[in-house]
């Protein structure tokens, strides 16, 4: 047995962990060969389209569908009345509330679904939408959650005003829940006694992920064999199958849910939308496939928004700058229905990570969820679980405290970081941070950008501005974040009662290639590339020879889907564990073939070798073949494994970001001169994919911090429902990102990996915002709200007297 290839070459042939392997999915994406929902064209497909409410709050007096039905090509017009006998005019939300599928008596937000037109093609459906006559009676509109809590107007007439909601008692008919974590009395006592206290209120505005492809589905009820197939833009296909079964009464084995290629999810495609339900009903009624694909305006107006958090903080410290306590209260605007996609026990997601990366001995968080006349479905956008809000809050509070103490904000952070030796660290608000090394990351980041040099330059620029020599000022944005991803332990995380484990099933073929299926679903993250790399390193078969499949509930094992950067921490762990099961069986096969005891062989890259005699080995290819063609005493034929992985804890990626920005105080235009991002996501599976994730997340952070918003006027009119008004950054606005890393593996994850997809957004938003605010700090700025669009930046300068 002669080996022509060196061990290093064998390692590199695997294309396993740490390899910047090119994304296998890109061949089809870059050639326009992807298969998205709108590419599906089953024979006889009908198209659905919605009649939507122009009013944000109105009673529906009548709906007349006669003219629409009379139009050639219109097959059906569904209203709440048609869904009611089926019990489908309302549906449960992921947050334990319920939501109208089609307007039942009244509408609660502009763009709400009122009737569903089904026609032979999209154009006819659109024409018919115009022909449906709806008579509305306008009702008072509430878009401000504070006013909502004072108002006599009852938004949700379907709810008993005094009855508790899914998360406990309600204080008012427009109140949803109160969620409290930590020790309020103790925190107040510490803050009242403190040397230094900084207070600030901030609004994290409502925004929307606006993925390239909007939401859509094709429902096909095959009446002959009783099978319902649902293709759709689903981030959690198995959960959709379970919900569809519970709602429709069709047994779960008779429902197949498939997520084909998805053109970006970003949390927008976690929830269940009326379009899915209406398409299913329409297909059951008509017996032919029904397609529904929303347009851009519908996507921006009616599907899961993000944020809309009014946050009030108090932070206390000693004279030396050691933080002693943190108090946070949030008024959370959830819109018309509470449709947040949080794990059941966390009505404000993981907002209680708001103590951030700092060792804060005592803290309190209180959140009040409130109904308003806005679209439902919160908590999406590159952090489905409110970690963006939490990190924005603490990173602003740190800056405000630094201003209060007249201290350098980088130094203030350093003094308060949780120290390396304190991990695993139990935070005051109940999390166990698995690992971290914040000081190393911070020092590396500050050194990389020459932080002291930047501050000197900034001081010179301030002086020059004051002398009237320049009209631009310079901001240095800092942020240090700790993410919490990988929901999650089944003991405390579930969605609609389904524990948040995930899964991987591997099947090795006789010739030594393999297929693996997982319970997650890529929306562009590159899972087909990266999961194969995890497996390659675990089982010694090249990633090139492993096909990854996701998103078909008929074949993939049950999983909770992809959001909250959970794929790597949970399904990635399942992949490693399933790989280890394969390896354990392969070891027995190898020992049999080599005629030695199981314990006398060991795994080496792509083979099992005899301990002490590495020239005697069996490759994984040989072992796979033997699994199918030899009768091995005591072993079943075949080489397959499945793992359902329930993570013992979340993973806690972290990072240090610095943004250097110039601001023209007369135009309000910011120019980003430098953006440095250091990320620590533990073991790095594919550095190139990670880099892509960071670039994407930072660009979305830039968008949110510097202009992107969903705003409403007092009548509840949506002000940013088109891309004319909704800021999407292009190459023009995006700087050249510098990425860097440290590696602090997760101690409980089988390969030490933590998630990374959300991190750049979580850390990026406060970094961009802090850069703007830091530029104005020498001129007296303390806090201004995002989005820092040109007008708001100009106004900040104006308010500070810089135009005088
Ligand atoms: N350490 C590590 C980690 C990670 N990784 C890679 O990276 C990625 C990612 O991952 P993760 O972090 O785990 O995550 P996932 O789960 O997968 O995903 C999710 C995320 O992802 C992100 N990114 C992205 N990209 C794209 N392209 N698209 C999309 O859509 C998206 N989205 C976004 C979001 S929003 Mo949420 O939903 O809101 O919650 S969440 C999210 C993949 O591929 C993986 O493999 C590596 O390599 N390494
Ligand atoms: Cu998150």
Question: What is the position in ligand 1's atom list of the atom closest to the CA of 384?
Answer: 39
| Phi, psi for 560 (deg, rounded to 5) | -95, 0
Beta bridge partners of 273: none
User: What digits encode the pLDDT tens for the residues 302-359?
Assistant: 999 999 999 999 999 999 999 999 999 999 999 999 999 889 999 999 999 999 999 9
What is the band of 377 on the pLDDT scale with cuts at 50, 70, 90?
Answer: confident
Whether residue 505 contacts residue 640, with contact meaning beta carbons closer than 8 Å, is answered with yes
Ligand nearest to the CA of 263: 1
Residue nearest to atom 32 of ligand 1 (CA): 266
Question: What is the position in ligand 1's atom list of the atom closest to the CA of 381?
Answer: 38
> Cis peptide before 787, with omega less than 30 degrees from 0?
yes
Summarize the confidence of residues 395-414 as an average pLDDT.
Answer: 98
User: 85, exposed or middle or buried, with CB in 10 Å at 0-12, 13-18, 19+?
Assistant: exposed
Summarize the confidence of residues 388-399 as an average pLDDT.
Answer: 98
Summarize the confidence of residues 295-306 as an average pLDDT.
Answer: 96
User: What digits encode the pLDDT tens for the residues 604-634?
Assistant: 999 999 999 999 999 999 999 999 999 999 9
| Phi, psi for 787 (deg, rounded to 5) | -75, 140
Question: What is the position in ligand 1's atom list of the atom closest to the CA of 686?
Answer: 47
SS3 assignment for 415-471: HHECCHHHCCEECCCCCEECCCCHHHHHHHHHHHHCHHHHHHHHHHHHHHHHCCCCC
User: What digits encode the pLDDT tens for the residues 739-771?
Assistant: 999 999 999 999 999 999 999 999 999 999 999
User: What digits encode the pLDDT tens for the residues 49-73?
Assistant: 999 999 999 999 999 999 999 999 9
Question: What is the position in ligand 1's atom list of the atom closest to the CA of 385?
Answer: 39
Helix runs in 162-230, H state only? 184-193
Q: Report the C-alpha gap between 177 and 346 in whole angstroms.
A: 11
Q: Report the C-alpha gap between 221 and 219 in whole angstroms.
A: 7
Beta bridge partners of 104: 106
The string over 236-258, giving b where at least 16 C-beta atoms fall within 10 Å of a residue's C-beta and e elsewhere, is bbbbbbbbbbebbebeeeebbbb
Q: Report the C-alpha gap between 706 and 726 in whole angstroms.
A: 12
Q: What is the CA radius of gyration of the chain?
A: 28
The pLDDT value given to residue 378:
77
| Phi, psi for 99 (deg, rounded to 5) | -140, 145
Structure token digits, residue 555:
């074949």
User: 693, exposed or middle or buried, with CB in 10 Å at 0-12, 13-18, 19+?
Assistant: buried
Pocket flag, ligand 1, residue 256 (CB < 6 Å) = no
The pLDDT value given to residue 516:
98
Beta bridge partners of 421: none
The pLDDT value given to residue 3:
58
Measured in whole angstroms, the distance separating CA 517 from the mean position of its chain's CA atoms is: 22
User: 722, exposed or middle or buried, with CB in 10 Å at 0-12, 13-18, 19+?
Assistant: exposed
What is the sign, positive or negative, of the torsion defined by CA atoms of 490, 495, 500, 504? positive
Pocket flag, ligand 1, residue 757 (CB < 6 Å) = yes
User: What digits encode the pLDDT tens for the residues 212-261?
Assistant: 999 999 999 999 999 999 999 999 999 999 999 998 899 999 999 999 99
Q: For the complex shown, is ipTM > 0.90?
A: yes
Q: Report the C-alpha gap between 408 and 455 in whole angstroms.
A: 10
- Tell whether the model's pLDDT for residue 1 goes beyond 60: no
C-alpha 195 to ligand 1 mean position (Å): 43
Terminal CA-CA length for the chain:
85
What is the sign, positive or negative, of the torsion defined by CA atoms of 378, 381, 383, 384? positive
Pocket flag, ligand 1, residue 568 (CB < 6 Å) = yes
**Tokens 């020498």 found at:** 778
Pocket flag, ligand 1, residue 106 (CB < 6 Å) = no
Q: What rounded mean pLDDT belongs to the chain?
A: 97
Pocket flag, ligand 1, residue 586 (CB < 6 Å) = no
Ligand nearest to the CA of 349: 2
Whether residue 641 contacts residue 461, with contact meaning beta carbons closer than 8 Å, is answered with no
The pLDDT value given to residue 379:
74
C-alpha 443 to ligand 1 mean position (Å): 27
The pLDDT value given to residue 4:
78
The pLDDT value given to residue 231:
98
* Residue of 525, 652, 681 best suited for mutating to test ligand 1, as the one with most atoms within 8 Å of CB: 525
Instruction: Quickly count: other Cβ atoms within 10 Å of residue 798's Cβ.
Output: 14
DSSP 186: H
Pocket flag, ligand 1, residue 696 (CB < 6 Å) = yes
User: What digits encode the pLDDT tens for the residues 450-470?
Assistant: 999 999 999 999 999 999 999
CA dihedral 166, 170, 174, 180 (to 10 degrees): -80
Active-site annotation, residues: 235, 382-383, 758
For each of the domains in the chain, give its residue range(s) and CATH number, in order of start. Answer: 7-34+502-645 (3.30.365.10), 37-139+214-262+269-302 (3.90.1170.50), 306-486+650-799 (3.30.365.10)
Nearest alpha-carbon partner for 444 in 687, 746, 738: 738
Summarize the confidence of residues 377-398 as an average pLDDT.
Answer: 92
- Tell whether the model's pLDDT for residue 84 goes beyond 60: yes
Whether residue 35 contacts residue 261, with contact meaning beta carbons closer than 8 Å, is answered with yes
- The secondary element (H helix, E strand) that includes residue 574 is helix 573-594
The pLDDT value given to residue 159:
97
Pocket flag, ligand 1, residue 267 (CB < 6 Å) = yes
Residue nearest to atom 37 of ligand 1 (CA): 267
Beta bridge partners of 662: 474, 671
Whether residue 742 contacts residue 365, with contact meaning beta carbons closer than 8 Å, is answered with no
**Tokens 């992921």 found at:** 94
Pair type for strands 175-182 and 640-645 = unpaired
Pair type for strands 196-207 and 306-317 = antiparallel
CA angle centred on 310, ends 304 and 314, rounded to 5°: 140
Q: Report the C-alpha gap between 231 and 269 in whole angstroms.
A: 13
Residue nearest to atom 21 of ligand 1 (CA): 757
Ligand nearest to the CA of 389: 2
Whether residue 176 contacts residue 369, with contact meaning beta carbons closer than 8 Å, is answered with yes
- Tell whether the model's pLDDT for residue 384 goes beyond 80: no
The beta strands (E) that lie in 288-417 are given as 290-293, 306-317, 323-335, 363-371
Instruction: Quickly count: other Cβ atoms within 10 Å of residue 5's Cβ.
Output: 10
- Tell whether the model's pLDDT for residue 496 goes beyond 90: no
Measured in whole angstroms, the distance separating CA 440 from the mean position of its chain's CA atoms is: 27
Summarize the confidence of residues 264-276 as an average pLDDT.
Answer: 95
Nearest alpha-carbon partner for 273 in 485, 39, 37, 64: 37
What is the band of 2 on the pLDDT scale with cuts at 50, 70, 90?
Answer: low
Q: Report the C-alpha gap between 540 and 545 in whole angstroms.
A: 10
């Amino acid at each position: 047995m002669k080996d022509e290839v060196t061990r290093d070459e064998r390692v590199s042939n695997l294309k396993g962990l740490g390899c910047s392997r090119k994304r296998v999915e890109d061949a089809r994406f870059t050639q326009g060969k992807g298969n998205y929902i709108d590419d599906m064209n089953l024979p006889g497909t009908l198209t659905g389209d919605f009649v939507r409410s122009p009013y944000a709050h109105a009673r529906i007096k009548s709906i007349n569908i006669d003219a629409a039905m009379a139009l050639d090509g219109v097959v059906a017009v569904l209203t709440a009345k048609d869904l009611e006998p089926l019990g489908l005019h309302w549906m449960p939300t992921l947050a334990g509330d319920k939501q109208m599928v089609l307007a039942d008596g009244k509408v609660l937000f502009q763009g709400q679904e009122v009737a569903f037109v089904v026609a032979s093609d999209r154009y006819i459906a659109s024409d018919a939408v115009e022909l449906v006559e709806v008579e509305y009676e306008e009702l008072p509109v509430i878009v401000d959650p504070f006013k909502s809590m004072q108002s006599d107007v009852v938004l949700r007439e379907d709810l008993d005003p005094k009855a508790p909601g899914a998360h406990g008692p309600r204080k008012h008919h427009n109140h949803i829940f109160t969620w409290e974590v930590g020790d309020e009395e103790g925190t107040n006592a510490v803050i009242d006694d403190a040397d230094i206290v900084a207070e600030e209120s901030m609004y994290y505005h409502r925004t929307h992920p606006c993925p390239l492809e909007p939401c859509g589905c094709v429902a096909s009820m095959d009446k002959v064999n009783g099978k319902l197939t649902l293709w759709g833009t689903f981030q959690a296909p198995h959960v959709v199958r379970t919900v569809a079964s519970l709602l429709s009464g069709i047994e779960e084995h008779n429902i197949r849910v498939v997520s084909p290629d998805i053109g970006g999810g970003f949390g927008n495609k976690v929830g269940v939308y009326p379009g899915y339900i209406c398409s299913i009903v329409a297909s059951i009624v008509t017996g032919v496939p029904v397609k529904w694909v929303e347009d851009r305006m519908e996507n921006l107006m009616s599907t899961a928004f993000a944020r809309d958090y009014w946050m009030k903080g108090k932070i206390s410290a000693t004279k030396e700058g050691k933080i002693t306590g943190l108090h946070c209260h949030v008024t959370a605007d959830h819109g018309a229905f509470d449709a947040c996609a949080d794990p059941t026990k966390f009505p404000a997601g993981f907002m209680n990570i708001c103590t951030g990366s700092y060792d804060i001995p005592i803290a309190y968080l209180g959140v009040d969820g409130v109904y308003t006349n806005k679209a439902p479905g919160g908590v999406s956008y590159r952090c489905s679980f409110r970690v963006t809000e939490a990190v924005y809050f603490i990173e602003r509070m740190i800056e405000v405290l630094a201003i209060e103490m007249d201290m350098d904000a980088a130094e203030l952070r350093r003094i308060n970081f949780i120290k390396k030796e304190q991990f695993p660290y139990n935070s005051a608000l109940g999390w166990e941070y698995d690992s971290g090394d914040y000081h190393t990351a911070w020092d590396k980041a500050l050194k990389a950008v020459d932080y002291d040099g930047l501050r000197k330059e900034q001081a010179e620029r301030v002086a020059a501005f004051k002398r009237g020599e320049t009209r631009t000022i310079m901001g240095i944005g800092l942020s240090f974040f700790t993410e919490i991803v990988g929901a999650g332990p089944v003991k405390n995380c579930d969605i609609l009662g389904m524990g948040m484990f995930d899964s991987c099933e591997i099947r090795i073929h006789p010739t030594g290639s393999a297929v693996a299926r997982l319970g997650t679903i890529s929306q562009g993250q590159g899972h087909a590339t990266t999961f194969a790399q995890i497996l390659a390193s675990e089982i010694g078969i090249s990633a090139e020879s492993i096909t990854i499949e996701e998103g078909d509930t008929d074949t993939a094992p049950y999983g909770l889907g992809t959001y909250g950067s959970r794929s790597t921490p949970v399904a990635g762990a399942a992949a490693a564990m399933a790989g280890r099961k394969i390896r354990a069986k392969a070891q027995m096969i190898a020992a049999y073939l080599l005629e030695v005891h199981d314990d006398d062989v060991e795994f080496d890259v792509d083979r099992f070798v005899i301990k002490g005699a590495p020239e005697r080995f069996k490759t994984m290819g040989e072992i796979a073949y033997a699994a199918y063609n030899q009768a091995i005493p005591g072993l079943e034929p075949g080489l397959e494994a499945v793992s359902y992985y329930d993570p013992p804890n979340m993973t806690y990626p972290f990072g240090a970001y610095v943004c250097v920005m110039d601001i023209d105080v007369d135009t309000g235009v910011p120019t980003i001169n430098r953006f440095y991002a250091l990320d620590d996501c533990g073991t790095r599976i594919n550095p190139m994919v990670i880099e892509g994730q960071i670039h994407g997340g930072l660009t979305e952070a830039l968008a949110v911090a510097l202009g992107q918003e969903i705003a409403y006027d007092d009548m509840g009119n949506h002000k940013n429902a088109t891309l004319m008004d909704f800021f999407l950054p292009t190459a023009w606005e995006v700087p050249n990102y510098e990425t860097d890393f440290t590696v602090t593996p997760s101690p409980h994850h089988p390969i030490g990996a933590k998630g990374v997809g959300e991190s750049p957004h979580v850390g990026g938003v406060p970094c961009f915002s802090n850069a703007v605010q830091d530029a104005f700090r020498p001129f007296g700025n303390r806090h201004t709200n995002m989005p820092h669009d040109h007008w708001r930046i100009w106004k900040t300068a104006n308010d500070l007297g810089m135009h005088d």
